[in-house]
Every structure is written in structure tokens, then in C-alpha cells.
Amino acid sequence: MQIEETTDQMISIVGSGRVGSTLAMILVQRNIDDITLVDVIPKLPEGEALDLSHMAAELGVDVKIKGSNDYSDIRGSDIVVVTAGLARKPDMTRMDLLTKNTGIAKAVSNEVAKYAPDSKLLWVANPLDVLVYVALKTTGFKKGKVFGMGGMLDVSRFKEFLADYLQISRSSISALVIGEHGESMTPVPSYTSVYGIPIKNFLTEQQLDEAVDKTRKVAAEVIAKKGATFYAPANGIARMVEAIHYDKKALLPLCTYLEGEYGVSGLCIGVPAVLGKDGVERIVELKLSEKERQSFDKGVANVKEAISSIQI
């Protein structure tokens, strides 16, 4: 079945740093749609747009790529991806970024609401779950139009550790990570499989616990060794952009607002959800094991505490 494009509108990326520019490169390579890069640093987005346009020319890709320091240039966007925010340093948790990035999130969200009120807003900056909530409340958008990337990144890491244990192709592994995008994230072995065969048929409980623990800690290792993580996040964002642009109705782990699902209301956190042209179209509820439920609830408590400490 041929997939048809659903819109002629563009994709805007707020933040032209390593995540934003890598995402733009992936989207150009996949020839998805026109792209506008926005950043507060003078000349940076224009320079990135020129460089990407030269790459597109050699590839024979005809998308238009524009760079700007003016938020009004996101007008008409179907999807706005926000990577802007202070980056996490080696000795910081995602929550350490809370206060400063909350202010950035509010400012960016006001600009998106002003110039791209019909867009879907995909948030990336940390602490993700709290900032998705801030963006939702600041924009006043419908809940399904504001969501975050976290779970897609966490899944990629979980899959890598499982592949190491199993010595099997990564493509054979279907994994799931939900909950807080942070040190209390919830990898879900009970819904993880190898070509449909439950993962517990291949690994011991101790091995699974080790893979879960490594998944929670590896971000800090990457940051300590190279200063930032951007290839894997950008790839996860691109998967989500494709799901929206092509109306794939893809079931993906993402951060969204809950209204009673999983027994939680009034905050944003990672869950499996169907993503299509209208944004988050449906949340899928799963029965978790006792250990998984405890981890998920710990993440909920962390997000609640963080939200209570800020002003929106």
C-alpha cells in the first residue's frame, strides 16, 4: 500500500544545536518535507540551512530548508519540534535543568502558540515530562497536540543492551520503555520480545535486571564521554515526525497528558500511544508487573513533585 503525504506544510525545528541539526539532516535525507530551523544564536540557523541545502542538492532532494532567528518564520508549520534548552552536563540529572529550562519552555511555547497555533508540538528538551506539561498549559493546545520524545530514545538503549546479551540482530527485538524520561524510567520486560517470543524465554531475571539498570544509567555515560547525546535522540524524533506526517497510526512510546489512564491524572509521562496526523490519537493501557508498576509510580511521583515546584 502506498503511503500518501497528508500535508504540504513545513516542519519547524526550534533549536539548531546538535540534536536539532542532526534531526534536520535525517529529515532531509528522508525527503519528508520543507524545514525551517529557528535559533536565538545569530546566523547559526542560516548557516545550518545552507550546509543542509548543499547536501540536499547532491542527494537530489528538493525540500526547501530555511534558517531564521525570527519565530514568525514558523508560521504555517504542521509540526514544530523543540530541541532548544540548556544541555545536561556530566554531573547533572535531567531534573537539575528544571528551573532554567522551564523559563525557556514557556517563552518558546508562547511563540509557537502565536505563530503556529494549528501545529503539533513535539518536545525534546529536559526534564522532558515536566516541560511537555509546561508547553501544554502554556500553549492551551488540545492535549493530543503536545507530546514528548523520551520513550523512543530510551527504547533504543534498552534494545542495544538486550542485543548484546542475546547476540541476535537488533531488528528481531521489540522492546518498550515507559514512565518518566529520567533515572526512574520503566523498561518493560513483560512486553518485550524477540520476534514475538517473550524475552523471558531467552534471558534470566538477573540479566533483565542488569539490562534495565544499564538503560537507566547509560545517558550519563554518553554525556560524560562526548558531552551530549544527539544521534539516537534525533533518530527517535524523526520516527515520530514520520508517523505524524504520513499519518502512520504508529504505536510508539511517548510522553503525553494522562486523564485517568494508568490511574494517573493531571500530568505528562511516557506511555504507549498511537501517533498520527492529528498527534496523539489514543493511549494504550497495559497491565504491568508489580516491579514495573512500582517503577512507573516512582516516576509519576517524581514528575508530580517537579510540577509542584514550578510556576506556570
Cα 76 from Cα 139, distance rounded (Å): 16
Rounded CA gap, 3 and 32, in Å? 12
Out of 92, 122, 149, a domain closes at 149
All cell numbers assigned to 220: 550519563
Q: How far does Cα 41 stand from its chain's mean position? A: 23
In a domain, residue 218? The reply is yes
pLDDT at 312: 79
What H or E segment, with its residue span, contains residue 212?
helix 205-226
| Distance set, CA 143 to CA 198, 263, 281 (Å) | 33, 17, 10
- Read off the CATH number of the domain in which 157 is found: 3.90.110.10
What does the pLDDT average to over 118-126? 96
Task: Specify whether the backbone of 198 is left (phi greater than 0), alpha (psi in -120 to 50) or beta.
Answer: beta
Give me the residue label for grid cell 526550534: 14
User: Is residue 277 pLDDT above 50, yes or no?
Assistant: yes
pLDDT for 85 equals 84
Task: Yes or no: say if 209 and 200 are a contact pair by the CB < 8 Å rule.
Answer: no
End-to-end CA distance of the chain: 45
Three-state DSSP class for 131?
Answer: helix
Does residue 289 share a domain with residue 178? Answer: yes
Q: Are residues 224 and 137 in the same domain?
A: no
Within this chain, do residues 145 and 244 fall inside the same structural domain, yes or no? Answer: no
Task: Dig out the grid coordinates for 99 from the structure.
Answer: 528551573
Its pTM stands at 0.93
The answer to whether the beta carbons of residues 219 and 228 sit under 8 Å apart is no
Over residues 131-154, the pLDDT tens digits come to: 999 999 999 999 999 999 999 999
Q: What is the DSSP letter of 179?
A: B
Same domain, 239 and 199: yes
User: Is 112 in the same domain as 233?
Assistant: no
Report the pLDDT value the prediction gives residue 38, as an integer from 0 to 100.
Answer: 98
Between 164 and 85, the higher pLDDT residue: 164
Tell me which residues are annotated as active site.
181
How far apart are the C-alpha atoms of 279 and 299, rounded to whole Å?
24
- Is the same domain home to 304 and 162? yes
The percentage of residues in the chain with a pLDDT greater than 90, rounded to a whole number, is 88
Check whether 124 has a pLDDT greater than 60. yes
Q: What is the dihedral of CA 200, 203, 208, 210, to 10 degrees?
A: 170
- Confidence grade of residue 25 (pLDDT, cut at 50, 70, 90): very high
Query: Is pLDDT larger for residue 275 or for residue 90?
Result: 275
Answer yes or no: do 143 and 156 share one domain: no
Range of the domain at 205: 151-308
Provide the pLDDT for residue 8: 55
Mean pLDDT over 219-235 rounds to: 93
Per-residue pLDDT band at 94 (split at 50, 70, 90): low
Is 6 contained in some domain?
A: no
Instruction: Check which CATH number belongs to the domain holding 47 and give it.
Output: 3.40.50.720
Examine the pLDDT at 222 and tell me if it is beyond 60. yes
Q: What is the mean pLDDT of residues 264-288?
A: 98
Look at residue 88 in the predicted model and tell me its pLDDT: 67
Q: Which long-range contacts (CB under 8 A, 24 or more apart) does 216-221 make?
A: 216/183, 216/184, 216/185, 216/187, 217/183, 218/157, 218/161, 219/88, 219/157, 220/90
On whether both 207 and 257 belong to a single domain, the answer is: yes
